[in-house]
Amino acid sequence: MNLETLFDLAGKTAVVTGGAGVLGSAMCRALARLGVRVAILGIGATNTEQLADDIRRSGGEAIGISCDVLDKAAIEIAAARVLQTFGSVDILINAAGGNKKQATTSLETPFFDLPADALQWVFNLNIIGTILPCQVFGKIMASQGQGVILNISSMNSFQPLTRVPAYSAAKAGVSNFTQWLAVHMAQEYTPNIRVNAIAPGFFMTEQNRFLLTDEHSGELTPRGQTIIDHTPMGRYGDPEDLLGTVIWLLSDASRFVTGTIVPIDGGFSAFSGV
Active site residues: 167
Candidates 131, 149, 129; CA nearest to 69 is: 129
Query: Cα(168)–Cα(174) distance, rounded to whole angstroms?
Result: 10
Query: Cα(8)–Cα(221) distance, rounded to whole angstroms?
Result: 42
Residue type for 257, please? Answer: V
The b/e string for 217-255 (b: 16+ C-beta within 10 A; e otherwise) is eeebeeebeebbebbeeeebbebebbbebbbbbbbebbe
* Contact of 155 with 265, CB cutoff 8 Å: yes
Query: Cα(198)–Cα(244) distance, rounded to whole angstroms?
Result: 11
Query: Cα(53)–Cα(118) distance, rounded to whole angstroms?
Result: 34
Q: Is the dihedral of CA 218, 219, 223, 227 positive or negative?
A: positive
Candidates 97, 150, 105; CA nearest to 122 is: 97
